[in-house]
Amino acid sequence: MSSLVIRLVCGLLFSAIVLGAVVRPPDNLTQGLGMLLPAAMLLSVALKGPRRSIIPKKKRAPAPVPTGELPPGV
């Protein structure tokens, strides 16, 4: 549920940035590029959702060591 809320909020913020850029265009290229990075990050989160790598994954147990005889020469 929280993932859906995060995606919705990021989508709304992205649309607010785009609407603001359309209504009042930036004065120069630097301002436009400055708006581009946060807008791209918000759009990415809105489309893909938040990262899942924050949740730690369970590690597999190591393979069991054979207890048989060692081969000659070892």
Q: Does any domain span residue 41?
A: yes
Q: Following DSSP, what letter does each residue of the chain receive, concatenated? A: -HHHHHHHHHHHHHHHHHHHHHHS--SSHHHHHHHHHHHHHHHHHHHH-S-STTSPPPPPPPPPPP-SPPPTT-
Give the pLDDT mean for 5-17. 92
Q: Does any domain span residue 62?
A: no
Q: Does any domain span residue 57?
A: no
Give the pLDDT mean for 26-46. 89
Q: Does any domain span residue 54?
A: no
The pTM (predicted TM-score) of the whole model is 0.63
Q: What domain range includes position 11? A: 2-48
What's the total number of domains in the chain? 1
Q: Does any domain span residue 55?
A: no
